[in-house]
Structure formats: structure tokens, C-alpha cells
């Protein structure tokens, strides 16, 4: 049985206090009220599939379908293919036309299977956060297997993009070993395997400082696949309301806002228009820092360094 009271797992102790009622002033560049990070999840082609010997078809974050049968689900496969063939190019166009940057949470295998996407990421100057080698649940790995997956993902993404990924994000949830293995690897400046805050924070893992840049499943198009959103306006209004409150609070307590996108979901025209509408709304506001995640990391390291 795992001894969670041992020093090796001290970083896993739950913290219900955090920054409390008086968070630090983020001091974003240009005295921005909010740091907005658009996250493009590029995972299509890395999901569970018969073609890759998994004996099942991944159906997560899709439109759904017939279901209720055993065997290869060709409908679901084609939904993933849409994200890589069509959706990503629509989202990249929307960002490019508005001259807004983004971070790509990329699985290594997805990039290997579509070099044109890797090239587009390079040309746009987006930073990459490793979303693993494949889009699978890490809870099924032994510690050695997870260590090998982290290393393989890092090396593959470095080959595909030409530069290494700056951070790490598991599918849904890390294991009790993930953060320690990332620090052991030494190539990651941060991880985003937390939803606990609206500002980065430092963790200490076996005596070493490690930065956590929280992500969001609230400001996320995944709600389309769960029936919580139906229209582009649903998506726009939710993002706008989130932005407006953070923007108002940002006059005295600037925060960050992550917006999560999946190409097989928001990449469809009837949803992509909601993303475009939100970005156009953001562009009307002063004091907004639309940035890459790597920029947030660099800023936090410089202005809010880890303390002993």
C-alpha cells in the first residue's frame, strides 16, 4: 500500500487554502488585467484504436453515435479524422486572422501522423505542451511504463517540432507518480495537471521547486460532447461571462484564463463561429494579454520565483 505520508508524496497533500483572499498581483506585461491562453488540444490519431492494436475504438469527446456494439467503430474513427483533416485548419485560420497566439497540447503520435500540422505549429510560433505519447489514461501504466511514456513523448515531440515541449498535461488526470517523474526527467518547466487555481503556483517535489500552471475543464468545448452546450452562442456566452468576471476582478487581482479547444468539436463551423465571436469580443478590450503558456511560465519564474 502506498504511504502518502512519506516524503516522496509530500507534494500530493491536498491544499484547500492556496493564495486565499489576497492572491499575489500577477504583474502581467503591460499591466494587463487578464492573461488569456488559448489551448488547442491536438490528439487526433493518438487515441485508442484497432489499427494501433488496442482492441477498442476511442469514443471520448465525440458526437456520439450508434454505440451498443462490440468491435471497431468506424463512425467514431472518422470523427477523430475530421479534427485532424479539417478542424485544426479552421481553428488555426481563426487565430491567424486575429493575430492571436496559442498553446498546443499535443500528443506525440498525432504530430508524427500529420507533419503538416507540426510545420504549421512551428510557423505560427505556438508553444507545445506534451499531452503524452498517446491519448490514453496513465492510470493503466506501471511507474516504469509511465516513465518511458514521458521520455518517448518528449523525444518524439522534439523531433516533430524541432524544439522540446515546455510542459506536460495528462489525459484527464495524472497518476500519483506523474509529477515526480516529470521532475526526475528534468525537461519540463511546468505541468498543467491541476484545476485548482486561476494563477500558477509552485510545488516542491522531493525538495525541488516545480511550477504548476492550472488548466480548465470549465472553459472548455468538451461540454459540447456532454450535452451541456448545444450552440455556438452557448459557448460564446459562457466564455464571455467567465472573461468578464475575471476582467473586472483583474483591476485589483489579475488572473489567467485558459480556454480548451478540441478540433473534432469546436472545429465544426457551427461551433467555430462561437470561438471567433469570443476572440473578436476579447479584441475590443484593453489590458488583455493573449499569450502562450510558455510566456506565462517565463513571466512567473521571473516575477514570482519559487521560495524556500
Q: Each residue of 85-99: pLDDT tens digit?
A: 999 999 999 999 999
What tens digit of pLDDT does each residue of 80-130 get? 999 999 999 999 999 999 999 999 999 999 999 999 999 999 999 999 999
In percent, how much of the chain has pLDDT > 70? Answer: 99
* pLDDT score for 60: 87
Residue 278 has pLDDT above 90, yes or no: yes
Instruction: Please compute the mean of the pLDDT values over residues 259-276 and round it to a whole number.
Output: 98
Instruction: Please compute the mean of the pLDDT values over residues 166-191 and round it to a whole number.
Output: 96
Q: From residue 266, how far is each of 112, 260, 261 by CA, in Å?
A: 23, 10, 6
CA nearest 91: which of 278, 295, 249, 298?
A: 278
Q: Are 103 and 284 in contact (CB under 8 A)?
A: no
Residue 190 has pLDDT above 60, yes or no: yes
Q: What is the β-pairing status of strands 190-191 and 288-290?
A: unpaired
* pLDDT score for 172: 83
* pLDDT score for 61: 87
Residue 66 has pLDDT above 70, yes or no: no
CA–CA dist 202, 38 (Å, integer): 22
- Quick one: pLDDT band at residue 5, thresholds 50, 70, 90? confident
* pLDDT score for 282: 98
CA–CA dist 169, 91 (Å, integer): 21
In percent, how much of the chain has pLDDT > 90? Answer: 90
Tell me the helices (H) and strands (E) count for the chain, helix number first.
Answer: 9, 9
* pLDDT score for 226: 83
Q: What is the DSSP letter of 63?
A: -
* pLDDT score for 69: 84
CA–CA dist 34, 23 (Å, integer): 14
- Quick one: pLDDT band at residue 65, thresholds 50, 70, 90? low
Helix axes 143-161, 178-185, angle to 10 degrees: 50
* pLDDT score for 125: 98
Per the prediction, the chain carries an average pLDDT of 95
Helix axes 115-124, 88-97, angle to 10 degrees: 10
CA–CA dist 305, 100 (Å, integer): 27
Q: Are 132 and 124 in contact (CB under 8 A)?
A: no
Which pTM value belongs to this model? Answer: 0.96
Q: Are 130 and 149 in contact (CB under 8 A)?
A: no
Residue 36 has pLDDT above 60, yes or no: yes
DSSP3 helix / strand / coil % (the chain, rounded to 5) = 40, 15, 45
* pLDDT score for 2: 77
Radius of gyration in angstroms for the set of CA atoms belonging to the chain, rounded to a whole number: 19
Instruction: Please compute the mean of the pLDDT values over residues 40-64 and round it to a whole number.
Output: 93
Q: What is the β-pairing status of strands 208-212 and 201-205?
A: antiparallel
Cα–chain-centroid distance for residue 77?
A: 22
* pLDDT score for 63: 87
Element (H, E) at 118: helix 115-124
Amino acid at each position: 500500500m502506498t504511504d502518502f505520508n512519506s516524503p516522496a508524496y509530500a507534494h500530493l497533500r491536498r491544499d484547500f487554502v492556496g493564495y486565499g483572499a489576497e492572491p499575489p498581483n500577477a504583474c502581467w506585461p503591460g499591466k494587463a488585467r487578464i492573461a488569456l491562453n488559448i489551448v488547442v488540444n491536438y490528439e487526433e490519431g493518438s487515441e485508442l484504436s484497432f489499427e494501433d492494436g488496442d482492441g477498442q475504438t476511442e469514443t471520448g469527446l465525440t458526437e456520439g453515435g450508434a454505440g451498443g456494439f462490440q468491435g471497431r467503430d468506424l463512425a467514431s474513427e472518422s470523427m477523430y479524422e475530421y479534427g485532424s483533416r479539417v478542424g485544426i485548419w479552421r481553428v488555426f485560420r481563426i487565430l491567424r486572422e486575429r493575430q492571436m497566439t496559442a498553446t498546443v497540447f499535443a500528443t506525440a503520435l498525432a504530430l508524427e501522423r500529420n507533419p503538416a500540422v507540426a510545420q504549421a505549429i512551428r510557423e505560427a510560433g505556438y508553444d507545445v505542451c506534451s499531452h503524452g505519447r498517446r491519448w490514453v489514461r496513465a492510470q493503466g501504466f506501471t511507474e516504469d511504463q509511465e516513465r518511458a511514456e514521458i521520455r518517448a513523448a518528449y523525444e518524439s515531440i522534439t523531433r516533430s517540432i524541432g524544439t522540446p515541449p515546455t510542459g506536460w498535461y495528462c489525459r484527464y488526470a495524472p497518476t500519483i507518480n506523474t509529477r515526480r517523474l516529470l521532475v526526475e526527467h528534468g525537461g519540463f518547466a511546468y505541468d498543467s495537471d491541476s484545476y485548482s487555481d486561476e494563477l500558477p503556483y509552485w510545488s516542491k517535489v522531493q525538495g525541488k521547486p516545480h511550477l504548476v500552471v492550472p488548466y480548465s475543464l470549465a472553459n472548455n468545448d468538451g461540454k459540447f460532447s456532454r450535452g451541456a452546450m448545444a450552440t455556438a452562442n452557448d459557448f460564446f456566452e459562457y466564455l464571455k461571462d467567465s472573461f468578464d468576471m475575471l476582467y473586472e476582478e483583474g483591476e485589483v487581482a489579475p488572473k489567467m484564463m485558459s480556454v480548451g479547444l478540441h478540433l473534432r468539436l469546436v472545429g465544426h463551423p457551427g461551433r467555430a463561429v462561437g470561438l471567433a465571436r469570443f476572440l473578436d469580443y476579447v479584441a475590443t478590450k484593453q489590458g488583455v494579454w493573449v499569450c502562450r503558456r510558455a510566456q506565462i511560465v517565463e513571466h512567473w519564474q521571473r516575477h514570482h520565483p519559487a521560495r524556500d
